Amino acid sequence: MVLDAPRTPLREAELPDPVPASGEVLLRVRACSVCRTDLHVADGELARPKLPLVLGHQIVGAIVGGAGHLGEGTRVGVPWLGWTCGECGYCRRGRENLCLRARFTGYDVDGGFAELAVADARYCFPLPEGDPDLQAAPLLCAGLIGYRSLRMAGDAERLGLYGFGAAAHIVVQVARFEGRQVFGFVRPGDDEARRFALDMGCHWAGFSDQRPPEELDAAILFAPAGELVVTALRAVGRGGTVVCGGIHMSDIPAFPYEALWGERTIRSVANLTRQDAREFLALAPRVPVRTEVRAYPLASAGAALDDLRGGRVRGAAVLVVDGP
């Protein structure tokens, strides 16, 4: 499925088979989960995608060719971080998520809304056994970015999650495993999402314009709405952290300094490191993380994006690719 230009429908196309370069593997895609970032790219909210582009950065596939230490037939996951330079100051200090020359899957290079994909073998990760392809796919961004966001929330005991989609429904499981209490916030009036947040293990769930019954120690925002930064800041106590987990957000409105005072922190999370991937994929089976997915055939990628935009997906949307 090809994106020719932002704000145009995805087009079904027969592309030449991708050829792996040195150090790359060729993958037979089995499933690819749909992320809000895919939506931001399709909607033209992220500035510089390669065009035309195959979206998708939560790929589960089997290695069918190319070099690498992983071996043919291995089932691997491919995340958003597709390549880093290894030389810039960020890379050298172990912060490859901030690499100035990083390339991202389904943005700078073609991704997984396809039958075949190529990926740098160093950025492919063997997946926990036991998780079917469909259930494993959302671990690769919703899970990974959620995990990095959770680490940025520090040792918060009472954690708020604003926007209860794919990432939050994974984070709540990890947070509970770590002994935290989770407070879920959903779109005002969306009772079904509120019930889903409770079903997934939230201690309390309410609408994002409501205050939680207790003061929070930290909050993670997955909803791309800038005004929620201020809402979350008012929900956390002194010393609390508000973590913005998304890649794009509407403008944050002005707010009085008093809302930030008391050593409250606002921070963003950008991308992921390979270390995040190794840690999270080792942790997920211990929790164990169970993802709730809605499957779409590859050709319905556009419908999956529309459902995500409309808030109609419970858990994660995943494209299923039927190979030959």
- Comparing CB distances to Zn ion, the nearer of 49 and 240 is 49
- Comparing CB distances to Zn ion, the nearer of 27 and 141 is 141
- Comparing CB distances to Zn ion, the nearer of 95 and 234 is 95
Residue 127 Cβ vs Zn ion, minimum distance, rounded to whole Å: 17
- Comparing CB distances to Zn ion, the nearer of 162 and 204 is 162
Distance CA 14, CA 284 (A): 36
Distance CA 253, CA 259 (A): 12
Residue 31 Cβ vs Zn ion, minimum distance, rounded to whole Å: 15
- Three-state SS letters, 248-306: CCCCCCCCCHHHCCCCCEEEECCCCCHHHHHHHHHHHHHCCCCCCEEEEEHHHHHHHHH
Cβ contacts of residue 200 below 8 Å, gap of 6+? 164, 169, 172, 173, 184, 292
**Which run of H or of E encompasses 103?**
strand 103-104
Residue 238 Cβ vs Zn ion, minimum distance, rounded to whole Å: 32
Residues that bind Zn ion (CB under 5 A): 35, 37, 84-85, 88, 91, 99, 141
- Comparing CB distances to Zn ion, the nearer of 35 and 159 is 35
Residue 88 Cβ vs Zn ion, minimum distance, rounded to whole Å: 3
Residue 247 Cβ vs Zn ion, minimum distance, rounded to whole Å: 7
List of long-range contacts for 199-203, beta carbons under 8 Å, 24+ apart:
200/164, 200/169, 200/172, 200/173, 200/292, 201/172, 201/173, 201/176, 202/161, 202/164, 202/172
Residue 195 Cβ vs Zn ion, minimum distance, rounded to whole Å: 25
- Comparing CB distances to Zn ion, the nearer of 92 and 286 is 92
For 45, which DSSP code?
Answer: -
Distance CA 25, CA 238 (A): 48
